[in-house]
């Protein structure tokens, strides 16, 4: 039963050279983590689904790899499946009913685009009248609510037309989509109770809460493990990849932000990757700006637009903000922000002017100034620190500092690291008021950058130092005695396993780039010597065992 | 939405101490692998299902963790599910029909327990007559065949009674079981196309075939990665655990067996785990014995019974062999085997007598003698090599040498390593005649043994060497300047992040067993010195930065 072997898309095999290079990066990062006082933990590859689901948004839930329960899972769902086959029809009837209600009640139609909340409430109470609520079709209040929400969404999708105006095919397609989504979710919950880790942060939060009584806080942990995402694979984006995270939980001290900047500098300097830029921002600065321009309720839209400044330019950013409902007046107040430039200090001065009416903004400035001052005093080896008020990554998540590291300017590559502070890391698991701050290194991108710049040391791909040619049983045994001594000295040595033709064995050494070959024939055995051939220079030496060790070492 | 956090059964969190201890074992094994000339590869955590399924037997297939396809998988199966709901009824009719046929045909009934093959053929041809073959109920020849096989099995299960004699409830239960098993398999194939790695050997075989053009043979690879099995969790058995494998492919040389024995000795000696026993056997010895006693067709039954000699004793082993149809006469020929004892050499001599009529047996003896002779010449540091003719692990798999390592006698623990030679490793993926030989280390059991014997070096749990007490902003900054220098010297150092009460900070150092604390107050800043407190002795020193480094280093 021969199969053409392959691996799943988005995954990779690593050959010896790639493993060695990856380990060089891992070991450098690990070494720095440890000198900074971080301690390693490891968590299981899969977690209970309820630990992961709902922590990364709807899109994240979709990208989590679910594991099928073992055993005869179908038994659990088969009745449900048959029942659900009828569900679609019922759903269609319900939808039409909602449509009819909306059409009949002109007040509903009028308020349609104005007030989502009241529309929702009115539809719901009208459906109730019709006794369609809590019947066979919907089996929970939540279910019912989400159907009404879908109805509203579907109508928005369908170019603002009410459902009776939609052609039947469109309704059917939409309902099919809703139906499949719902049924998948419902079945998945029943046949899958475990899921592969999506990042290291949520499992870490789970770990902290679960082991809180064993942990001495503040707890500085690092974790270097793979994560899995069912993302569409593309260049540089994989379905299995490593994350290298260091976090501290249990202290709000800004010295930690200072140390994380030093840590980035230490790691990239050790990797000889000079000239990286550590960009920093603060969520409080972003909140402050939104407050000043009167867009506090549109913080996400505002920062998403601002984040694009580098890519699309000032004019388009303003355009996008306008389209999101931020006022002309507000946007004009942003002008000093677009003009912000120069050193960290001069940008801070500029921000003070812009944010003088915002308490949050002032606090953000204070934090940034503290961090910048400390870093100036302590100095960085090869990296530089830069304030970037447009930086907003993971905004929903971070509450204070936001970090991102860019590769040196001569390399085209997205961020090679990032992180920030999140004030309520463990709240999702019921442990309140535990502040966390952490950073992450992007292994795959760092690998590509080091490769592009030729920064992997030659010694990284540690190979076999010496191959003994196999001339037959007696010679092989004599060789293995020497090899044993070489290995005890830490020299990677091996015997060609078969007494093949010498040319074949020499070719093997060449192809594997093994630098030395030892030839042991009858003469060498009788004189207790070893003929060493330097595969680069071609020179040959007749040596004693001790000389052999000294020469290769 | 607070949840009580937990992890899936059979999985583990590792705290910093456990990670450090595990890494100590990994690093020791990795170091030995590399001095022996093995190179690392890594393969993805999940493989395509067809790569794994069918490679580990039916039980193995069941224990493989399957990953749910992402997207709306239910769409793919829903018609099938509805259809399959009717399948059960049809299956029941088919079963009854088979039963009727068997009852009607007395010749079938008579041959029932004697000749499985002819029974199968006869039932099949009779069903054909009745036009039940290839109809709606069974949609493939394979399907049909397996149903007939199930029928036969069910009848054996049902205490040798033909199906019409079974009570209806029993039939129904059995059919339910079959139905669920079949429907699960069918659905699983449709909603899951990827599965978590079950061991490292099959992915390695896949790797070799897929990358055969890049690989220089003989290829010595090692691989240290986790595997997953949906086994029932119990003490010492986990659903996620690491395997540490070294294998060579592409040579039949017995020097490799010799080297693997040396490698075991090197690793366990480096771990200071002295007195392990490396047991060796050879599949050809087992085949030879089976041949000599006239039980070649019962090789599996024979070796399964022999393998239990240690546990259940000679009498019970013989009893089991008898029950499996091995003749009294054959078993009596085994007597010299039970009396086999003494040194490797004397056992070899004994085997020569027993196996003098078996060519395979003689070949096995020759191989064992070669290996033992080489090991005697080369010597082992702390392990000993022992011939164990009852050793049969993974028999279906191994074709030559079979290895197993036992912990020292004073420790109660199963095998802590194992391996062997398999002559057609890559055949399952269409690459013929590639011989492989390899060994594996059982990390979790080695860990337990080292823990029990107190063999982890104290230095393994490398901790922070020094904590700087935080007395406030100015002092913290002064401290961080020193910490930067300490870290550059490779000393793990940290600052307590908050200017908390001194007692709290000292307690923190104590609880984390940090050996040194540095106190920096105004006086120290003005005199540019550091007060070092030795947390073990309680002594205090006033030191310059250089003195501080020297003292801690």
List, for residues B32-85, the tens digit of each pLDDT value. Answer: 999 999 999 999 999 999 999 988 887 888 899 999 998 766 666 666 666 655
Among A212-221, B303-312, B374-383, the minimum mean pLDDT is found in B303-312
Residues A367, A294 share a domain: yes
Query: Do B281 and B402 share a structural domain?
Result: yes
**Confidence label for B324 from pLDDT (cuts 50, 70 and 90):** confident
Domain boundary among A168, A191, A214: A191
Q: Span B153-175, mean pLDDT?
A: 51
**Which residue has better confidence, A4 or B273?**
B273
A400 and A283: one domain? yes
Stretch B507-525: mean pLDDT? 95
Beta strands A415-422 and A401-406 are antiparallel
Residues of chain A contacting B8 with CB distance shorter than 8 Å: 44, 46-48, 193-194
- Residue B494, chain A, CB below 8 Å: the answer is yes
Q: Are residues B141 and B281 in the same domain?
A: no
Maximum pairwise Cα distance, chain B: 108
DSSP string, A408-426: -TTS---EEEEEEEETTTT
Q: Is the pLDDT of residue B181 over 80?
A: no
Residues B485 and B541 in one domain: yes
pLDDT at position A8 is: 96
Mean pLDDT of chain B, nearest integer: 86
Please report whether residue A248 resides in a domain: yes
Average pLDDT over residues B8-32: 97
B484 interfaces chain A, CB cutoff of 8 Å: yes
Based on the structure, what is the number of domains in chain B? 4
* Residue B204 lies inside a defined structural domain of this protein: yes
The domain of B523 spans 462-552
Task: Locate all alpha helices (DSSP H) within A36-111, ordered by sequence.
Answer: 49-52, 57-63, 74-104, 106-110
- Residues A227 and A224: their CA atoms lie apart, in Å, by 10
Reduced to 3 states (helix: H, G, I; strand: E, B; else coil), residue A439 is strand
Which of the four pLDDT bands, split at 50, 70 and 90, describes residue B256? Answer: very high
- For residue A318, being part of any structural domain is answered with yes
Structure confidence at residue B339 (pLDDT): 83
Domain shared by A162 and A94, yes or no: yes
Q: Which ipTM did the prediction report?
A: 0.87
User: Alpha helix locations (H) across B195-343?
Assistant: 201-210, 255-270, 283-292, 299-307, 309-323, 328-333, 335-338
Among the candidates A439, A458, A477, a domain finishes at A458
Whether residue A60 is found in the same domain as residue A202: yes
Identify whether residues B446 and B475 lie together within a single domain. Answer: no
Q: Which of A127-136, B106-115, B356-365 has the lowest mean pLDDT?
A: A127-136
CB of B416 within 8 A of CB of B276? yes
pLDDT higher than threshold 50 for residue B320: yes
**A417 located within any domain:** no
CA distance A109 to chain B (A): 34
**What is the residue-level pLDDT of chain A in tens, covering all 553 positions?**
455 799 999 999 999 999 999 999 999 999 999 999 999 999 999 999 999 998 888 788 889 999 999 876 666 666 666 665 555 566 666 666 666 666 666 555 555 545 556 667 766 666 654 444 434 445 455 556 666 766 666 655 443 444 444 445 555 565 666 666 667 777 788 889 999 999 999 999 999 999 999 999 999 999 999 999 999 888 778 999 999 999 999 999 999 999 999 999 999 999 999 999 999 999 999 999 999 988 888 888 888 888 888 888 899 999 999 888 888 998 888 888 888 888 999 999 999 999 999 999 999 999 999 999 999 999 999 999 999 998 987 666 789 999 999 999 999 888 999 999 998 889 989 999 899 999 999 999 999 999 999 999 988 877 899 999 999 999 999 999 999 999 999 999 999 999 999 999 999 999 999 999 999 999 999 999 999 999 999 999 999 999 999 999 8
With CA atoms as reference, the chain B residue closest to A265 would be B484
Residues A160 and A15 in one domain: no
Least confident range of A355-364, A373-382, B192-201, B389-398: B389-398
What residues have CB less than 8 Å from A48, skipping those under 6 apart?
Answer: A193, A194, A195, B6, B7, B8
Question: With an 8 Å Cβ cutoff, are B46 and A240 in contact?
Answer: yes
A1 part of a folded domain = no
Tell me, what CATH number does A452's domain have?
3.30.930.10
My answer on whether B335 and B385 are in the same domain is yes
Residues of B in contact with A262 (CB under 8 A): 484
In-domain check, residue B413: no
CA B143/CA A352 separation, integer angstroms: 77
Q: Which residue of A has its CA nearest to B468?
A: A37
Residue A53 included in any domain:
yes
Q: In this complex, do B8 and A240 lie within 8 Å of one another by their Cβ atoms?
A: no
Q: Residue A442 and residue A224: Cα distance in Å, rounded?
A: 11
- At A486, is the secondary structure helix, strand, or coil? helix
Strand partners, B46: B196
> Measured between CA atoms, how close is B70 to chain A, in angstroms?
7
The reply to whether A414 falls in a domain is no
Domain boundary (A420, A442, A458) is at A458
A454 plus A496 within the same structural domain: no
Which of A1, A5, A460 best probes binding to B when mutated, by most B CB atoms within 10 angstroms?
A5
Cα torsion A127, A133, A139, A145 to 10°: value is 40
Considering the domain architecture, whether residues B93 and B42 belong to the same structural domain is answered as no
**CA B545/CA B528 separation, integer angstroms:** 8
Which of B37, B459, B516 is most worth mutating to test chain A (most A CB atoms within 10 A of its CB)? B37
């Amino acid at each position: 039963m021969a199969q053409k072997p392959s691996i799943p898309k988005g995954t990779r095999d690593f050959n010896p050279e790639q493993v060695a290079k990856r380990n060089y990066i891992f070991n450098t990062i690990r070494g720095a983590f440890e000198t900074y006082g971080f301690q390693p933990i490891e968590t299981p590859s899969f977690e209970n689904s309820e630990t992961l689901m709902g922590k990364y948004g709807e899109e994240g839930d979709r990208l989590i790899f679910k594991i099928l329960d073992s055993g005869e899972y179908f038994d659990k769902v088969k009745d449900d499946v048959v029942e659900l086959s009828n569900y679609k029809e019922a759903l269609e009837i319900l939808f039409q009913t909602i449509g009819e209600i909306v059409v009949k009640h002109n007040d509903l139609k009028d308020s349609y685009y104005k007030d989502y909340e009241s529309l929702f409430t009115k539809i719901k109470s009208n459906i109730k009248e019709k006794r369609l609520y809590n019947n066979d079709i919907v089996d929970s209040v939540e279910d019912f609510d989400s159907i009404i929400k879908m109805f509203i969404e579907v109508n928005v999708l369908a170019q603002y037309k009410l459902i009776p105006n939609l052609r039947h095919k469109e309704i059917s397609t939409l309902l099919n989509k809703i139906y499949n989504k719902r049924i998948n979710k419902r079945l998945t919950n029943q046949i899958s109770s475990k899921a592969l880790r999506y990042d290291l942060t949520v499992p870490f939060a789970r770990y902290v809460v679960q082991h809180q009584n064993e942990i001495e806080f503040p707890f500085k942990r690092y974790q270097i493990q793979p994560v899995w995402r069912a993302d569409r694979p593309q260049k540089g984006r994989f379905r299995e990849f490593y994350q290298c995270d260091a976090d501290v939980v249990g202290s709000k001290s800004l010295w930690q932000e200072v140390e994380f900047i030093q840590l980035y500098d230490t790691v990239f300097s050790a990797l000889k990757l000079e000239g990286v830029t550590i960009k920093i921002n603060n969520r409080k600065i972003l909140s402050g700006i939104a407050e000043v321009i009167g867009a506090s309720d549109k913080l996400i839209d505002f920062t998403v637009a601002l984040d694009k400044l580098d890519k699309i330019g000032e004019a388009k950013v303003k355009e996008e903000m306008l389209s999101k409902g931020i006022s002309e007046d507000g946007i004009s107040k942003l002008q000093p922000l677009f003009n912000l430039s120069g050193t960290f200090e001069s940008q801070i001065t500029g921000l003070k002017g812009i944010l003088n009416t915002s308490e949050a903004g002032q606090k953000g400035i204070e934090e940034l100034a503290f961090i910048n001052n400390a870093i100036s005093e302590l100095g960085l080896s090869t990296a530089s620190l830069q304030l970037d008020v447009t930086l907003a990554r993971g905004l929903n998540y971070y509450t204070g500092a936001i970090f991102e590291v860019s590769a040196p300017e001569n390399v085209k590559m997205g961020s090679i690291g990032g992180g920030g502070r999140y004030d309520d890391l463990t709240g999702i698991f019921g442990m309140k008021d535990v502040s966390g701050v952490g950073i992450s290194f992007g292994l795959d991108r760092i690998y590509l950058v080091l490769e592009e710049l030729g920064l992997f040391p030659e010694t990284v791909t540690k190979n076999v130092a010496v191959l003994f040619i196999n001339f037959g049983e007696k010679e092989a045994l004599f060789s293995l005695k020497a090899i044993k001594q070489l290995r005890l000295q830490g020299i990677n040595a091996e015997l060609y396993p078969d007494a093949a033709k010498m040319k074949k064995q020499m070719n093997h050494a060449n192809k594997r780039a093994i630098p030395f070959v030892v030839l042991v024939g009858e003469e060498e055995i009788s004189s207790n010597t070893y003929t060493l051939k330097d595969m680069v220079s071609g020179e040959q030496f007749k040596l004693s065992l001790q000389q052999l060790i000294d020469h290769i070492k």
